[in-house]
Amino acid sequence: MPRRLTARGQRRQREILDFAARRFAAQGYHPTSVADLVDGLGVGKGVFYWYFDSKEELFRQILAEAQRDLRRAQRQAIADEPDPVRRIEQGIRASVAWLDANRHLSALLELARTEERFAPLVHQGEDQAAADALPHVKAGMAAGLIRRADPLVVAHGILGVTERLARKIVLEGGRPAEEAADGAVSFVLDGILSPAAANRRTVREAG
Amino acid sequence: MPRRLTARGQRRQREILDFAARRFAAQGYHPTSVADLVDGLGVGKGVFYWYFDSKEELFRQILAEAQRDLRRAQRQAIADEPDPVRRIEQGIRASVAWLDANRHLSALLELARTEERFAPLVHQGEDQAAADALPHVKAGMAAGLIRRADPLVVAHGILGVTERLARKIVLEGGRPAEEAADGAVSFVLDGILSPAAANRRTVREAG
Amino acid sequence: MPRRLTARGQRRQREILDFAARRFAAQGYHPTSVADLVDGLGVGKGVFYWYFDSKEELFRQILAEAQRDLRRAQRQAIADEPDPVRRIEQGIRASVAWLDANRHLSALLELARTEERFAPLVHQGEDQAAADALPHVKAGMAAGLIRRADPLVVAHGILGVTERLARKIVLEGGRPAEEAADGAVSFVLDGILSPAAANRRTVREAG
Amino acid sequence: MPRRLTARGQRRQREILDFAARRFAAQGYHPTSVADLVDGLGVGKGVFYWYFDSKEELFRQILAEAQRDLRRAQRQAIADEPDPVRRIEQGIRASVAWLDANRHLSALLELARTEERFAPLVHQGEDQAAADALPHVKAGMAAGLIRRADPLVVAHGILGVTERLARKIVLEGGRPAEEAADGAVSFVLDGILSPAAANRRTVREAG
DNA sequence: AATGAATGAGCATTCATTCAT
DNA sequence: TATGAATGAATGCTCATTCAT
């Protein structure tokens, strides 16, 4: 399976990966047959099994690539930002942008979560994403910028808002990514209470 | 297909619905065959097709029931609460509790979202949930309790946090539902900034 | 797989077993496809998998039945014979007769021996056959009727001659079973030396 | 297809023949794919089809070589022995020794017998082996050393005992070749009866 | 209402062979 | 000579659905 591939072979493999990612995203894992893939690419069935051990293995590979790529995008967006809150904000924006720019991969990540065989991989990826956000959350708390709470809960909350808004507003709603990103940032940082109500709540808690 | 059923028939049908819901949730829609279901129930194939037109129809029915039930739980929790913010809080708590108490149906809702045929139903359900939350958000804004923002974005944000924390903390993390509910309420109402940082941010925006 | 079968079902299963045994014997295990079988029987593919878990399992079942049947034939032939040498003779005759009457199963037994998955079963069967012959050989030795030698070697020798002659003379040669049986009995009991030469050899060994 | 090969080419061809013989013997004809062979040898598919027209042709060639080699071994063992009974004995010993020394080819001969396409070749080979033994049997009878009986039956009997004991005692049993050879010689020459019983039987038949 | 039996299109995968380089 | 790439028919097996009883 770890084959030595010529340049031509590598191009073919990529072609299959990309085409399959789109098909899987559009139709689901099971409804997409290997025949669909090779017919769609106009090649013989053997080609598929020359490059991949199995349909499952192909999917796994697509999934891993997508997760790697999303993570890279997040890291790059944060790279040189000293302020932990701004790092979080930029992470949110980068995530929404990536989910928008790679709609089929967004769908794929969701898809994979519902398939017994792949679910653990997605869970790991999500937990990794939360773990990646964790240091920024903690740094923000240490600096007195972020309210003290279980930082892991906070991290998951951030991711939950971000992904839901990206999905509903951008992917399903067809509106620009900025709108979702702004909404998510604002929701995450401020919560939903008005300043007045928030103050009352804070006072009550502190009392 | 809408058959008039005897009492015994209704019991049978319910038995199938419940068993199938658990199997679908555990294994997925495609990997669960009709044979699995009837074998698991110890009945012949004919029984299945006596009560349901098709596997797809069965799934649709389970899905609709689950959505109906979740919505009912949310409405009941809110019923007599005059304060819109508290209505939101109680909606969050009721959702987490339901997702915890009906784990297999939670899984099913996610599952259905990734299957082309059922996705529209789930999207409708989610949009319905947001629409259900909308009046409370708007009422909160009108009363000056909730920060002014696109109320639909806010509603989706609430649902995003709630579901993500319910999933990660309760379903995957195995911790008590209260923990997730508290985390979600706090995250939703307050956001993540510390009061000081929040004040600075508010002032700056207002300026 | 252990299904409760109606009378009709049992007839079907037997039909498949018999047809398959003949096809396997004629063409070999691998060259006989499940499609061959169901097409030959004029039924749909599902029928096959209703009655058998797999092609391999079907073959195993045929094999086990054949071995059981051959063994039963041998035991019946010997049943009431008090003289151990005559028991051996009758065992030889019964084996040749069975191999002749069940040519396809003879071929199947040979076939199975060359297929990694089934070889152990055939080896066991052959060893069982030798073990079945063993008591008679030993009884013959105890009674002074059979020359003293490793009784297991003797048993395998008997089986070797019997099967080879049955195969070459009857199955491949197309001559009557009696001819092979007579030849085998005579070969086994007397060896090939003339009485004179045998005596000389005996004397020499004894000296 | 009969290519003129360079020295290097001949080495390659031999390498393939030897490797393939072992693989076929270990796994069977059908379960051994051309891909198995070329992967095992670390060469490309083209190499295979440069030296052999097809997998079938390769197998045929291996088979013919094995039969030729076994026959040569038998002839050499007998070469200068004037006594026909001793020629037979030495033929038996040489056969057992060859089957032991070329275990994979022994397996291959058996294997080939069960594959429709190759069975005739094996049958021919076996008949040839019997035909090879025939003159010695006849000579023995003419000299009064071997009991009068159908010489072809006798020849097949000899081969039957020899191969069965070689297989059971040496190949499957893992015991030394001499043990099988001694057992076979003794069985073939003397049969199984004790001298006393043999005499009674001879007298009765003669009477 | 219910069962066991049957259908046949469809699926993932294999494999002998050929081709382009 | 040799390689990696490609072909496509064939294989074992599954499964939603229907049928006969």
Tens-place pLDDT, residues B54-108? 999 999 999 999 999 999 999 999 988 999 999 999 999 999 999 999 999 999 9
E chain positions with any atom within 7 Å of a protein CB: 1-20
Question: For D26 and F1, how far is CA from C1' in angstroms?
Answer: 30
Question: For C33 and F10, how far is CA from C1' in angstroms?
Answer: 9
From the list B90, D126, B102, D140, the residue with the least C-alpha distance to C191 is D140
Euclidean distance between CA atoms C80 and D201, whole angstroms = 22
pLDDT above 70 covers a percentage of chain A that reads 98
Q: Are the C-beta atoms of residues C61 and C141 closer than 8 Å to each other?
A: no
Euclidean distance between CA atoms D203 and D207, whole angstroms = 6
Place of tokens 């070889």: C119
Euclidean distance between CA atoms A72 and A77, whole angstroms = 9
Kindly state the average pLDDT of the residues B136-162.
96
Q: Is B134 exposed, middle or buried (CB count within 10 Å of its CB: 0-12, 13-18, 19+)?
A: middle
What architecture (CATH level 2) is domain C1-53? Orthogonal Bundle (1.10)
Question: What pLDDT is stored for residue B202 in this prediction?
Answer: 79
Q: What is the pLDDT of residues C107-160, one digit of tens each?
A: 999 999 999 999 999 999 999 999 999 999 999 999 999 999 999 999 999 999
Phi/psi of residue A146, each to 5°? -120, 135
Kindly state the average pLDDT of the residues D154-180.
97
Chains C vs B: touching, with 3+ CB pairs under 8 Å? no
Residue in chain B nearest A108 by alpha carbon: B114
Q: Would you say the C-beta of B147 is within 7 Å of strand F?
A: no
pTM over 0.85: yes
CATH fold for domain B63-206 = Tetracycline Repressor; domain 2 (1.10.357)
Q: Å from A144 to nearest chain B CA?
A: 7
From the list A74, A91, A37, the residue with the least C-alpha distance to A59 is A37
CATH 1.10.10.60 occupies which residues in chain A? 1-53
Residue B205: CB atoms within 10 A of its CB come to: 10
Touching check for C198 and chain D: CB below 8 Å?
A: yes
Q: Would you say the C-beta of A39 is within 7 Å of strand E?
A: no
Q: How sure is the predictor about B144, in pLDDT bands with cuts at 50, 70 and 90?
A: very high
Chains C vs D: touching, with 3+ CB pairs under 8 Å? yes
CATH 1.10.357.10 occupies which residues in chain A? 62-206
Q: Which pair of structure tokens corresponds to residue C104?
A: 């396809």
Q: Would you say the C-beta of C44 is within 7 Å of strand E?
A: yes
Say which range, A195-204, C29-38, D158-167, D186-195, has the weakest mean pLDDT. Answer: A195-204
Comparison of pLDDT for A204 and A132, the residue scoring more? A132
Euclidean distance between CA atoms B71 and B82, whole angstroms = 19
Q: Which pair of structure tokens corresponds to residue A42?
A: 């106009």
Residue C33: CB atoms within 10 A of its CB come to: 12
Touching check for A108 and chain B: CB below 8 Å?
A: no
Which uninterrupted H or E stretch holds C5?
A: none
Question: For C47 and E5, how far is CA from C1' in angstroms?
Answer: 8
CATH fold for domain A62-206 = Tetracycline Repressor; domain 2 (1.10.357)
CATH 1.10.357.10 occupies which residues in chain D? 63-206
Per-residue pLDDT for A146 more than 70? Answer: yes
Q: Which pair of structure tokens corresponds to residue D46?
A: 């083209």
Q: Is B86 exposed, middle or buried (CB count within 10 Å of its CB: 0-12, 13-18, 19+)?
A: middle
Question: What pLDDT is stored for residue D10 in this prediction?
Answer: 87
DSSP for C72-103, written as a single string? HHHHHHHTT---HHHHHHHHHHHHHHHHHHTH
